[in-house]
Amino acid sequence: MASKGLRWERLDELRVLIPRQGEMRTEGLVYADEKIFRGLEEDEALTQVANVAWLPGIVGRSLAMPDIHWGYGFPIGGVAAFDVNEGIVSPGGVGYDINCGVRLIRTSMERDEITGRLKEIADALFSYVPCGVGSRRKDFKLKGKDQKGVLRDGARWAVQRGFGAPEDLAHIEENGAIPGADPSVVSPRALKRGKDQAGTLGSGNHFVEVGFVEQIFDEPAARAFGLFKDQVTVFLHSGSRGLGHQVCDDYIKLLMAVGPKFGIKLPDRQLCCAPVTSKEGQDYLAAMAAAANFAFANRQIMYHFIKEAFEKVFRKSAENMGFGLVYDVCHNIAKKETHEVHGQKVRVVVHRKGATRAFGPGHPDLPDDYRAFGQPVLIPGDMGRYSYVLAGTDTAMAETFGSTCHGAGRLMSRGRAKKMAKGRAINRELEDAGITVRSAGKHTLKEEMPEAYKDVADVVDVVARAGLGRKVARLRPLAVIKG
């Protein structure tokens, strides 16, 4: 099925329906206005939305957020739920960077306090937070016996060893640990790849970003989240590193080999999958949870390193600078959740690939201090523009299994971005815009230049108008650290 032969129809100014065709078991639904959809009409991501609808046990529609772009099997920006008894689980529906996610850190400092010290802050962060393949911090190495504890307990493991405080856990999705993790179904190669990567940023689109709150849209929600105008904030974006990549690779190879025994007809072999109830499906979910927990611990450890960097620059304790965790969300995950579908409560495995959980007000899984306002939803943009904080909504619960977009979404492949950036000094362009940048290599800056991404304001506008998230605040970058 090619995108050019795919039928679709516009339901309203924000939603495009892909009707059942071929062997689709359900419809596809893409959240996109005319501007965003024009860029998708020739994109294979639309075909991927339709392809996901072929999979057995799918509940509701195959969904895509406005930051949609082509991915492995499932589109990035894709959301799909499958019945826990009749449905499947697919590694392509999670992606290679399992629990790639974002953490937002607040401080009590204001923009004017750091404006003249951005180079110092950037240098300190680049020194304290390891970038690239492995850890260069000699004072922290994950020992073999500790690694399995990280995979089981996630951020809790890190907190118990002095990286943060117990109260941090309430402000992390799933309290920082996906249940059901089993290190025994993680391969030795995956364990080896993760050995030196706990507390490391990585490269590509991962970053640490120091910024400030430029605008407040919802004062009560912002107050509940601890945000105020001109406040200094820190975004942290990273995931499960080589360990998660290897878990995905291992299970894709396994399911491609054994998949035919399940008799599932696939329009694309990248959608390789297993029934949730099968041994292979259960093993993948347990290994994926272990990798997700590694990512939670990874971000928790880096949170500690970020505080150390600020303490070095300002010669104050993190406590005196008002450091606190707003929230930490997953992007690439498959989770067992209960949702209401056609008036009935259904237990499903929700695949969110390049999508963010956005539970609405009153949901019991939210921390007490946020429950009345909905879950904080963190939407980073590119490193040259702005990012957003939203709040989850009842509409998201009703339409998208409590899900929304995860970022701006790429417009260009990394290869095309590098070609477009040839002869340009991206770091200098960002400096001229008032953004201090530190990077382990020039190639990353070219691949991640702002023009390589959609304008996140356009993406957020769609989800806000569609009711999948409520705008709370907009943040502007001042200093960015890239791998």
d(CA 76, CA 69): 5
Spell out the SS3 assignment of the chain: CCHHHCCCEEEECCEEEECCCCCCCCCEEEECCHHHHHCCCCCHHHHHHHHHCCCCCEEEEEEEEEEEECCCCCCEEEEEEEECCCCEECHHHCCCCCCCEEEEEEEEEEHHHHHHHHHHHHHHHHHHCCCCCCCCCCCCCCCHHHHHHHHHHCHHHHHHCCCCCHHHHHHEHHHHCCCCCCHHHCCHHHHHHHCCCCCCCCCCCCEEEEEEEEEECCHHHHHHHCCCCCEEEEEEEECCHHHHHHHHHHHHHHHHHHHHHHCCCCCCHHHCCEECCCHHHHHHHHHHHHHHHHHHHHHHHHHHHHHHHHHHHHCCCCCCCCCEEEEEEECCEEEEEEEEECCEEEEEEEEEECEEECCCCCCCCCCCCCCCCCCEEEECCCCCCCEEEEECCHHHHHHCCCEEECCCCECCCHHHHHHHCCCCCHHHHHHHCCCEEEECCHHHHHHCCHHHECCHHHHHHHHHHCCCCEEEEEEEEEEEEEC
- Residue 288 CB neighbour total at 10 angstroms: 29
Structure tokens at 110: 């204001």
Q: Which of 111, 136, 130 is nearest to 234 (CA)?
A: 111
Q: Which of 206, 237, 245, 406 is catalytic?
A: 406
d(CA 19, CA 371): 36
Cα angle: 381, vertex 382, 386; to 5 degrees:
50
Structure tokens at 399: 């339409």
Q: Which of 158, 124, 97, 10 is nearest to 407 (CA)?
A: 97
Give Rg (Cα) of the chain.
21
- Residue 339 annotated to the active site: no
Query: Catalytic amino acids?
Result: 406
